[in-house]
Amino acid sequence: MSTPRKIRLVVLISGRGSNLQAILDQAASGELPVEVAAVISNRLGVHGLERARQAGVPALELDHKHFADRPEFEAALIELIDQQQADLVVLAGFMRVLTAGFTEHYRGRLFNIHPSLLPKFRGLHTHERAIEAGETEHGASIHFVTAELDGGPIIVQARVPVLVGDDADTLAARVLEQEHRLYPLAIRWFAEQRLRLEGDQLYFDGQALTAPLRLESFTVA
């Protein structure tokens, strides 16, 4: 197989950027065929921006509070992303609900990671809710972003057990470990042109997916 060209990746964050770090590490090692063109945060001074700077990646701030409304902020965000000539945009702890105008602009090239086995537990506080619901299995999902909150086509999931005595923190730590494996894998598939979205249908290696892929089915180098 020929070496795929490096795609240009923009990462949107709002906080510490632990998934960002997993992406930066694999990009630096050459495992991930991407050039991280920029990291953009809607919150000023967050730790994820320092992670970007340490990796030599432009760390940009666009404070949503400086805009009159959501559409005005998103218009500025689109302009900033498009200046980077992004092939793929990934949300890595980006804590803003995005409107249809934004999601349609990047349709088919906008990923999100969510800490649950979607479609279960959309929204916030997923670990607490999984424990309260008596779930025996929990995990994380990568999906294409649409205007429906945490509702876009699901690409791949990683599962972890919910153990007796778990609280939200211990369960979150177990899920986060899998997130750091999951996100670079999905990005790699996109970069290698193994993954695409046509309409609402996902294709992987040319085959229509009828269910999300599962991380345990793949070897992660």
Q: Which residue has tokens 């992004």? A: 86
Give the DSSP H or E segment for 59.
strand 59-61
CA distance 52 to 40: 9
Q: Is 156 within 8 Å of 142 (Cβ atoms)?
A: yes
Catalytic residue (one of 105, 114, 143, 180): 114
What's the angle, vertex CA 205, arms to CA 204 and CA 208, rounded to 5? 45
Residue 114 annotated among the catalytic residues of the structure: yes
End-to-end CA distance of the chain: 16
The string over 49-81, giving b where at least 16 C-beta atoms fall within 10 Å of a residue's C-beta and e elsewhere, is bebbeebebebbebebeebeeeeebbeebeebb
State the catalytic residues.
114
